[in-house]
Structure 1
């Protein structure tokens, strides 16, 4: 059920990095940035069918092809797909410091009810002609009998974590498949192009520094830590930026996490497991939490070459991947040894 929990986020620089690319996305009609409505431009995008029979993996629904009043119920897959599709969002649940928040129209209202206690009357008050939600939350609401379909047609967005047999080789399969079903292929192409542009720019900025360096990614709650470098987004982004992903017997022999990704280790093994990492990305359980004292002895942490990660970036589509690239670049440029070598 971890995919349904509300995830804390760190201080976030996406308001700068994502908005810097808005002009590129605007050309493709994907987004118009903070304070503007995110709609596809008519000249660049064919008019969708009046009605779309959406069927992907285990979800089927009949939805409007060109909705006018969209309510989004989550801040991850649902919100990202709504932004990619250029849907006019009238209300949504989103983290104000999340990676996608700068792309949400300033006119969109913020839902007052919590994710676990949705207010159906509040949703209905926006008179939506489409409700968009990620599949994790969508299945939860179905199981709890929220009957969202009685308010408006519902699009459950597949987050893509289980779609491909090798998600690291096909990171955007779920995005491209679903946008094609929504008759918005051009938006998919533009989002991938924007991500690839960010990667190319990142290599120019930090490529000389990252070459030959190893990196690891961990989730670090109180009792132990979970090495999650094998999740698709890191297997794609870190090598693209020049890092190799740290592997060793200590990590590989550790028990698998109950979530199905990563390996769980006690903090007493932190130095042994992570000692050879040149860069460490740490996702803390709470934004303001301090690092475990043993974790502070890991060389990458001692030397200041660690990144305080944003849990909202653990999975997503091309906009999320791009935001992760941009954030890593900004953080690496702040490392003391990067500053020293760049002088």
Structure 2
């Protein structure tokens, strides 16, 4: 297989389990030992390239991108006043976040996120953004920090469990993370019980097919989606836990490298583009109707996104199994 280093990671509702409701119950019982005392007004959070002292219980929170940063804020139970939505400016983020955002939350900003003027006008006491956005200074860290404390959050890693647990511990909300992750484990266990041999040991390929017009796809080697697929018992083709980039380029002419996949899931806004490629059509999983689009919004996040990926993969495989 001919692979080239791919793009970096910037670009279903869980019906039976209320993840946010479970977190709220856990928070009422939370008693987490940490360097920040339970009576403190602020907490200090340290990460790769940042150290932030933020309100322990903020009252007005603004989210910058409206993806994984929004998910973190929702899971933490923060009172949102506004969120960016770089994927669809002018609307509230949808997909896995449908029904999770209060009606009075404003959608602000454009495809590059909110302006400093928009954020300032909202008078937030906390700003939440993706940590890689902080490290790359997407929005102007210095100016944002003059408006309100900024919390960079790690939501772009394959090991969403560890990332979520460590960050919630730092905020004094460790029991919240445990309850939410237990709910995800229940979703995975139910899927494995229901589908059995249709999942366990079967081979799956996960790709971003959006760049097919340029002659290649991005094959996922180490992302949140590969973690979820493995949790479901699937064997991920070309899984590589050492691949820090998380994906590799695979040219359309070499798509036969995916011929061993029992199932293929791909992210794209226009499936017709890759669907027109003869090498794609020739893949057994495609030819036999065992390929499906995975919502492009499910490419970074934490337990809400992971649960939605699990629901999508298990739901599609369940449909194919019942139809066979």
Give the structure-2-normalised TM-score.
Answer: 0.83
Q: Identify the residue that residue 80 of structure 2 maps to in structure 1.
A: 89
Range with bigger deviation, 290-299 or 175-184? 290-299
Q: Which residue of 2 aligns with 1:209?
A: 198
Aligned pair partner of 1:64 in 32, 55, 60: 55
Q: Deviations over 1:5-34 (max 9, x none)?
A: 5x4xxxxxx1xx324311x5413317xxxx
CA shift, 1:136, in A, is 2.3
- Does 1:246 find its partner at 2:231? no
Which whole-Å CA distance do the structure 2 matches of 1:224 and 1:87 have between them?
40
- Distance in structure 2 (CA, Å) of the matches to 1:48 and 1:69: 20
Does 2:261 correspond to 1:277? yes
Q: Distance in 1 between matches of 2:137 and 2:114?
A: 9
Q: Which residue of 2 aligns with 1:104?
A: 101
Please tell me the root mean square deviation across aligned C-alpha atoms, in Å: 2.9
d(CA) in 2 for partners of 1:268 and 1:142?
35
How many matched pairs?
Answer: 302
Instruction: Summarize the Cα distance change of 1:314–1:267 in structure 2 as closer, same or farther, 3 Å threshold.
Output: same
Q: 1:57 to 1:266 in 2, by over 3 A?
A: closer
The runs of 5 or more residues in structure 2 that have no matched partner are: 1-5, 32-37, 88-92
Deviations 1:87-130 (A, max 9, x none): 0111112453332343222221111x214263222212222110
How many Å separate the matches in 2 of 1:287 and 1:122? 35
In 1, Cα distance between equivalents of 2:23 and 2:165? 15
Question: SS at the partner of 1:192?
Answer: helix
CA contact (8 A) 1:132 1:156 kept: yes
Contact preservation (8 Å) 2:62, 2:83: yes
Secondary structure of the corresponding residue to residue 320 of structure 1: helix
CA distance in 1, matches of 2:195, 2:106: 38
Q: CA deviation at 1:145?
A: 6.1
Cα pair 1:207 1:241 within 8 Å, conserved: no
Paired position in structure 2 for 1:20: 16
Task: Show the counterpart of 1:148.
Answer: 144
Q: Find the aligned partners of 2:267 and 2:290 in 1 and give their Cα distance.
A: 14
CA distance in 1, matches of 2:318, 2:156: 31
SS of structure 1 residue aligned to 2:99: helix
Q: Give the match for residue 90 of structure 2.
A: none
CA–CA distance in 1 between the matches of 2:323 and 2:224?
Answer: 29
Matched, 1:128 2:128: no
Cα pair distance change 1:261/1:28, threshold 3 Å: closer
The answer as to whether partners of 1:207 and 1:242 remain within 8 angstroms in 2 is: no
- Aligned pair 1:73/2:58, yes or no? no
Q: Do 2:225 and 2:309's aligned partners in 1 also have CA atoms closer than 8 Å?
A: no
Residue range with higher mean Cα deviation, 283-292 or 178-187 = 283-292
Partner of 2:292, secondary structure, is strand
Inter-CA distance 211–45: structure 2 relative to 1 (3 Å threshold) = closer
Q: State the TM-score, normalizing by the size of structure 1.
A: 0.78
